[in-house]
Amino acid sequence: MKMKRLVFSLFFHLKKISRLFKPIKTRRCHTFCCFYTFRNMSFELLPNEILLDLFSYINGVDLLHAFYDLNLRFNTLLYEHRKYWFDFSSASKRTFESICQQHLSLVCQQTLAIELNDTDETREQTHLFFSYIPTLPQLTCLRSLTVCENHSYQFLLKLTRQCQYLSCLTTLKFLSCSLDDDDEDIDLQNLIDNIWKLSKLIECHIDIDTNEENFVIPRVISTSIRSLTIFPSDLQIHEIEQLFQCTPRLKYLSTYIGCLTQSIQPVTTFPNLVQLKLCFISSTIDFSSLNRFFSIMNNLRSLDVQLWSMMINGCQWKQIIRKHLPELRTFSIDMRISTNEDFIHTQVMATELIKTFQNSFWIFEHQWFVRCYTLNRKIYLKSLTNRSDFIEATIPDWYQSTYPYDTHERFYNTMTFVSKTFFDQTVPLDIRLSNIHSLHIKLPICDGFSTIFPNLDRIKSLTISSYSEMYSFQVENLLKQISNLDRLKICQEDPSLKLRLQNHTNTSVQHIDLYDCQHHFTNDECLILSRSSLFRHCQILSIRVKDTYGSVHFILNLFNIRILNIQNQKGESSTRWL
C-alpha cells in the first residue's frame, strides 16, 4: 500500500519535482507530451510491477493512445494490464474507433469500468460501442457501468437485461437520461425491476427523466444495494417506506421529496440508513411534518437537506436532532424563502432567523456554522461547508455568519461564478474575488477589474459579451493572464463588426464557442482562424459559416478537433463527431 501511494504521488507530481527530470520527446505529444527520465535513470527502466501499478491510475483511452506501439515491451505490458477503466466522454471519434477496433476485444476481460456518453455531440457513441461489443457478458470482470444522456427506452431495457449476466457488476449509473415521449411502449416498472434484480449491485444512480412525476417502486427485493440516488422523480413518505422494504440494506439515499402529507404516519424505521441527502421541493412542508419524517431515521450519521421554499429555524432543527437523530455527526443545510417584504423587514426576518443558530448547541457542541444573507427580497441560509453561489447579478443586501472568523474576504472568496451584469451595480473596491471558475464579462472591462480579480489562474470558463475590435487589446491581455482557461465563448451583438480573433493567444483553451458572434465566417476567415494560435489546441468548436465548405479548414488544420458544430446562413445546423 505504501508503494502504491509513493508511485501515485511520483506520477502525478512530476511537475513539482521537474528539476530532477529532463524531457524526452515522443510522437504522442498531444496526450503525454513527454516521458521523463531521472538524471541517472530512464522511465523505461522502471520495473514492470511499478509500470502496471501506474497504468491502473490512467484512463484506458489515454493509456492505449499514448503507450501502444512504442515498443514491444510496452505492447506486452498493455495487454497484461488487469485494471482497465475507460471513460470515453472526452474521446474523439478517431480515438474511440481505434480503441474499439484494435484493443477492446483483447482487453474486455481486463476491463473494470466503462463510461459511455450520448451527448448531442457524441450521439453515436453508445451505438458504435455495442457494434464492437455486441453483448455486455463479454466484459466478464466489469464492475462499473455508466451511461450518460441516452434517450432510448429500448436500449436501456436491453442493457439492464444484459447486466443480469455480469457477475461482478457493483455500480450502475444512468446520468441525465430521458425517455422519448413518442415511445408508447415505455414501461418504467420493467426497467426498475431489472435493476433491482442485479444480485451484486451495491451503488445505483438513476437519473432518468420521464413523464412519471413519482418514482416507480420496484416489485423486486434487492439485498445488495447499499447506495441509491434517484433524480429527478420525487418520492412521497409512504413511497420511501416501500422503497426501504424493497432495499432493506440501504445505507445511503439521495432523492427529491414531494409533499409530506399530514394524514400519513410513518410506521417503519430504517436502522441501516446512515447517510441521507434530501431536497424538499414543496412549499407545504412544515416543521411538524419534518419532525414526523425524521422520527424513523434514528441511526443517521450524515444529513444534507435542501429546502427550496421554506425555512426551519435553528431551535426547530435542534429539537429534531435532539429527539430523533442522536447519532448525527455531519449536518448540512441549504434553505431559501421569498418574503415579499421590503429590504428593512427582510433583514429583520433574517436577523431573527440566524439568532436561532447562535447558541451552544450549534457553535460549541457540534460546531455547525451557518451564514445567512438577503438578496432581492429572499432569505438564504446555508451551512458554511456549502459554496456561496448566491451571486449572479447583485451583491447581497445583507450578510451575517455564526462562524467568528467568517470575514467578508472569506465570504467573497467562496464565489465561483460572476455574471455579465455583476458590474452594472456599484461594486465596492475592497471586494476580492480570487476563486472564480466561471467569468462572464461585458466589454469594455471596467476600471478596478485587476484589483477585484487578483487571481485569474482558477478560471476555466470565460464568456465575453459586446466584443468589438476596439477592445481587442483588453481581450488579448485578459487571455494572456488566464493560464488554465478551458472554455471560451465570445458574443457580439453587431454582426457588421469585424472579428480579429486570430490575433489572440491562449495555449490552454480547448472549447471555443462563436455561435453568438452574429457573424458568418467566410472560407478565407475559417482558414485564418484554423491556423491561429488561439485555435491550436481546440477540441470543441461551435461556429457560424457562410459556406459549410469552410469547416474543411478546421478539420484539416486543427489536429485535436473532435467535435465541430456548424451553422450556415440558412440556419441549418450540423454536428460532427470527428
Q: Answer with the residue of higher pLDDT: 268 or 514.
A: 514
Burial class (CB in 10 A: 0-12, 13-18, 19+), 309: middle
Confidence label for 407 from pLDDT (cuts 50, 70 and 90): confident
Q: Parallel, antiparallel, or unpaired for β 511-513 and 487-490?
A: parallel
pLDDT computed for residue 297 by the predictor = 87
Q: Is the pLDDT of residue 474 over 70?
A: yes
Q: At what angle do helices 48-55 and 2-12 cross, to 10 degrees?
A: 70
Least-confidence region, from 80-84, 169-173, 413-417, 456-460 = 413-417
Q: Is the pLDDT of residue 538 over 50?
A: yes
Q: Is the pLDDT of residue 409 over 60?
A: yes
Mean pLDDT of 507-515: 93
pLDDT computed for residue 420 by the predictor = 84
pLDDT computed for residue 497 by the predictor = 65
CA–CA separation, 15 and 22 (whole Å): 11
CA–CA separation, 518 and 495 (whole Å): 5
72-86, 260-274, 381-395, 441-455: which has the highest mean pLDDT? 72-86
pLDDT computed for residue 483 by the predictor = 92
Burial class (CB in 10 A: 0-12, 13-18, 19+), 57: middle
Copy the grid coordinates of residue 3: 508503494
Q: Which residue has the cell 437485461?
A: 161
124-133, 196-205, 279-288: which has the highest mean pLDDT? 196-205
Q: Parallel, antiparallel, or unpaired for β 330-338 and 378-383?
A: antiparallel
Helix (H, G, I), strand (E, B) or coil at 155: helix
CA–CA separation, 462 and 449 (whole Å): 15
- pLDDT, one tens digit per residue, over 479-489 is 999 999 999 99
Nearest to 98 by CA among 72, 71, 144, 62: 62
- pLDDT, one tens digit per residue, over 205-232 is 999 988 776 789 999 999 999 999 998 7
pLDDT computed for residue 124 by the predictor = 82
Task: Transcribe 174-231 into DSSP letters.
Answer: EEEEE--TT-TT--HHHHHHHHHT-TT--EEEEEEE-S-SBPPPPSS--SS--EEEEE
Length of the chain: 578
Q: Which residue has the cell 459586446?
A: 466
Helix (H, G, I), strand (E, B) or coil at 85: strand
pLDDT computed for residue 389 by the predictor = 53
Q: In this structure, what DSSP letter does residue 522 have?
A: P
Strand partners, 374: 379, 398
CA–CA separation, 269 and 248 (whole Å): 11
pLDDT computed for residue 41 by the predictor = 56
Confidence label for 22 from pLDDT (cuts 50, 70 and 90): very low
Mean pLDDT of 409-418: 81
Q: Answer with the residue of higher pLDDT: 18 or 136.
A: 136
150, 118 contact by CB (below 8 A): yes
Q: In this structure, what DSSP letter does residue 20 have?
A: G
- pLDDT, one tens digit per residue, over 147-199 is 999 999 999 999 999 999 999 999 999 999 988 766 667 889 999 999 999 99
Instruction: Tell me the one-letter amino acid at 331.
Output: F
Copy the grid coordinates of residue 341: 417584504
Confidence label for 25 from pLDDT (cuts 50, 70 and 90): very low
CA–CA separation, 320 and 335 (whole Å): 16
Q: Is the pLDDT of residue 14 over 70?
A: no
Nearest to 564 by CA among 549, 578, 553, 550: 578
Least-confidence region, from 107-121, 233-247, 389-403, 553-567 = 389-403
21, 68 contact by CB (below 8 A): no
238, 268 contact by CB (below 8 A): no
Task: Transcribe 291-342 into DSSP letters.
Answer: HHHGGG-TT--EEEEEESSB---HHHHHHHHHHH-TT--EEEEEEEEE----
Q: Is the pLDDT of residue 393 over 90?
A: no
37, 46 contact by CB (below 8 A): no
180 — phi, psi (to 5°)?
A: -60, 125
Radius of gyration of the CA atoms of the chain, in A: 27
pLDDT computed for residue 333 by the predictor = 94
Rounded to a whole number of angstroms, the distance between the first and last alpha carbons of the chain is 41
- pLDDT, one tens digit per residue, over 228-286 is 999 877 777 778 888 999 999 999 999 988 766 554 555 567 889 999 999 988 777 78
Q: Is the pLDDT of residue 142 over 90?
A: yes
Q: Is the pLDDT of residue 76 over 70?
A: yes
Copy the grid coordinates of residue 233: 422523480
The whole-model pTM stands at 0.88
Mean pLDDT, the chain, rounded, equals: 85
